[in-house]
Structure 1
Amino acid sequence: MTHEAAPESVTPRSPKAMPRAKRRKGTPVTTGPGMRAAIYVRLSRDTDESTSPERQRAACEAICEARGWEVVAVEEDIDVSGFSRGLERPGLQRILARLADLDVVVFFKIDRLARSTVDFAEIMQIAETQSVALASAQEPLDLTSSMGRAMARVIAVFAELESDTIGSRVSNAHEHLRREGRWTGGRVPYGYRVVPNPNGAGRVLEINPDEEKVVHGIVDRVLAKESLMKIATDLTKAGVVSPGHRSRQPNGKRSDSERWYTTTLRSLLTNPQLLGQVIEDGKPILRTDGLPLVTRPPILDMRTWHALQDELTRRSDRSERRREGTALLRGVLFCSLCSGRMYTYVAGGRTRYRCIGRLKQRQAGQDVDCYGPSVAAEALEAHVAKEFLRGIGHMPVVKIEKKVAEDFRPQIRQAEEALKDLEADRYERGLFKGEDGAHRYAAQYAKLEERLSSLKARQSDAAPGGVEEIPTGKTHAELWDDSDTAGRRDLLLNAGTFVEVAPAQRGGKKLDPSRISVYFGPEGFIRRAEAEGKDPESATLMLIDSDFN
Structure 2
Amino acid sequence: MRVIGYARISRAMDDSTSLAKQRQIIERAAESRGWALVGIAEDEDVSATKSRLNRPGLTEARDAIASGKADAVLCWRLDRVARSVVDMGQLLDEGIEIVSATEPLDTTSPMGRAMVQIIQVFAELESSTTGERARATKAYLRSMRRWGGGPRPYGYRPEPSPDGVGKVLRVDEDEAAVIRRIFSDLLEGVPANRLARTLNAEGVPTATGREWKPASVLNIARALHVSGYLTERVAEGSRSRRPVVDESGSPVIAWTPLVDAATADAVRALVTSEALDEARSAATKAGLEGPRSLLYGLAFCPCGEALIRRVRKGTAYYGCRGIGEGSHVLVDAEKVDAEAVTQFLASFSGVEVVERVVEVSVSEALAEIETALAAASAETTSTATADLPTLFERIAALSAEKDRLTASEDRVTTRRTHTAYGEAWEGWTVEERREHMAALGVRVDVLPARRRGAWDPERVRVEADADYLTGQTD
TM-score (structure 2 length as normaliser): 0.54
Q: Decide whether the 8 Å contact of 1:121 with 1:153 is kept in 2.
A: yes
Give the CA deviation at 1:292.
5.0
Give the CA deviation at 1:314.
5.1
Matched, 1:286 2:241: no
- Closer/same/farther in 2, CA of residues 227 and 103 from structure 1, 3 Å limit: same
- Closer/same/farther in 2, CA of residues 123 and 288 from structure 1, 3 Å limit: farther
- Closer/same/farther in 2, CA of residues 292 and 144 from structure 1, 3 Å limit: farther
Aligned to 2:78: 110
Aligned to 1:309: 268
Q: Decide whether the 8 Å contact of 1:284 with 1:292 is kept in 2.
A: no
Give the residue type in structure 2 aligned to 1:123.
Answer: L
- Distance in 1 between residues matched to 2:12 and 2:257, nearest whole Å: 38
- Distance in 1 between residues matched to 2:225 and 2:255, nearest whole Å: 9
Aligned to 2:197: 233
- Distance in 2 between residues matched to 1:297 and 1:186, nearest whole Å: 19
Deviations 1:492-529 (A, max 9, x none): xxxxxxxxxxxxxxx9433689xxxxxxxxxxxxxxxx
- Closer/same/farther in 2, CA of residues 208 and 118 from structure 1, 3 Å limit: same
Give the residue type in structure 2 aligned to 1:43.
Answer: I
Matched, 1:320 2:280: yes
The 5 Å alignment of 1:417-496 reads: 482-483=313-314
The 5 Å alignment of 1:206-217 reads: 206-217=170-181
Deviations 1:465-500 (A, max 9, x none): xxxxxxxxxxxxxxx9954569xxxxxxxxxxxxxx
- Distance in 2 between residues matched to 1:83 and 1:200, nearest whole Å: 32
- Distance in 1 between residues matched to 2:14 and 2:4, nearest whole Å: 23
Specify every segment of 5 or more residues in structure 2 that has no aligned partner in the other structure, as ranges: 234-238, 301-307, 318-422, 430-474
Residue 95 of structure 1 aligns to a residue whose secondary structure is helix
- Closer/same/farther in 2, CA of residues 309 and 119 from structure 1, 3 Å limit: farther
- Closer/same/farther in 2, CA of residues 276 and 118 from structure 1, 3 Å limit: farther
Q: Decide whether the 8 Å contact of 2:224 with 2:243 is kept in 1.
A: no
Matched, 1:41 2:7: yes
Give the residue type in structure 2 aligned to 1:119.
Answer: D
Q: Decide whether the 8 Å contact of 1:179 with 1:295 is kept in 2.
A: no
- Distance in 2 between residues matched to 1:333 and 1:52, nearest whole Å: 61
Aligned to 1:522: none
Aligned to 1:273: 225
Residue 124 of structure 2 aligns to a residue whose secondary structure is helix
- Distance in 1 between residues matched to 2:29 and 2:313, nearest whole Å: 84
Give the CA deviation at 1:103.
0.7
- Closer/same/farther in 2, CA of residues 155 and 320 from structure 1, 3 Å limit: same
Give the CA deviation at 1:296.
1.2
Specify every segment of 5 or more residues in structure 1 that has no aligned partner in the other structure, as ranges: 1-34, 246-256, 335-340, 352-376, 382-479, 487-506, 514-549
Which of 50, 53, 62 in structure 2 is aligned with 1:87?
A: 53
Deviations 1:396-450 (A, max 9, x none): xxxxxxxxxxxxxxxxxxxxxxxxxxxxxxxxxxxxxxxxxxxxxxxxxxxxxxx
Matched, 1:98 2:56: no
Give the CA deviation at 1:36.
1.0
Give the CA deviation at 1:198.
4.2
- Distance in 1 between residues matched to 2:182 and 2:175, nearest whole Å: 11
Q: Decide whether the 8 Å contact of 1:315 with 1:321 is kept in 2.
A: no
Please, what is the CA RMSD of the aligned residues? 4.1
- Closer/same/farther in 2, CA of residues 484 and 223 from structure 1, 3 Å limit: farther
- Distance in 1 between residues matched to 2:91 and 2:46, nearest whole Å: 17
- Closer/same/farther in 2, CA of residues 154 and 190 from structure 1, 3 Å limit: same
- Distance in 2 between residues matched to 1:137 and 1:481, nearest whole Å: 72
Aligned to 2:212: 260
Aligned to 2:120: 156
- Distance in 2 between residues matched to 1:241 and 1:153, nearest whole Å: 51
Aligned to 2:455: none
Q: Decide whether the 8 Å contact of 2:156 with 2:172 is kept in 1.
A: yes
Residue 176 of structure 1 aligns to a residue whose secondary structure is helix
Q: What's the % identity of the aligned pairs?
A: 33
Which of 249, 258, 261 in structure 2 is aligned with 1:299?
A: 258
- Distance in 1 between residues matched to 2:296 and 2:313, nearest whole Å: 30
The 5 Å alignment of 1:42-57 reads: 42-48=8-14, 51=17, 56-57=22-23
- Distance in 2 between residues matched to 1:509 and 1:214, nearest whole Å: 52
- Closer/same/farther in 2, CA of residues 191 and 95 from structure 1, 3 Å limit: same
Out of 149-158 and 225-234, give the one that drifted further. 149-158
- Distance in 1 between residues matched to 2:313 and 2:291, nearest whole Å: 26
Aligned to 1:331: 286
- Distance in 1 between residues matched to 2:425 and 2:33, nearest whole Å: 97
- Closer/same/farther in 2, CA of residues 239 and 78 from structure 1, 3 Å limit: closer
- Closer/same/farther in 2, CA of residues 184 and 155 from structure 1, 3 Å limit: same
Aligned to 1:72: 38
TM-score (structure 1 length as normaliser): 0.47
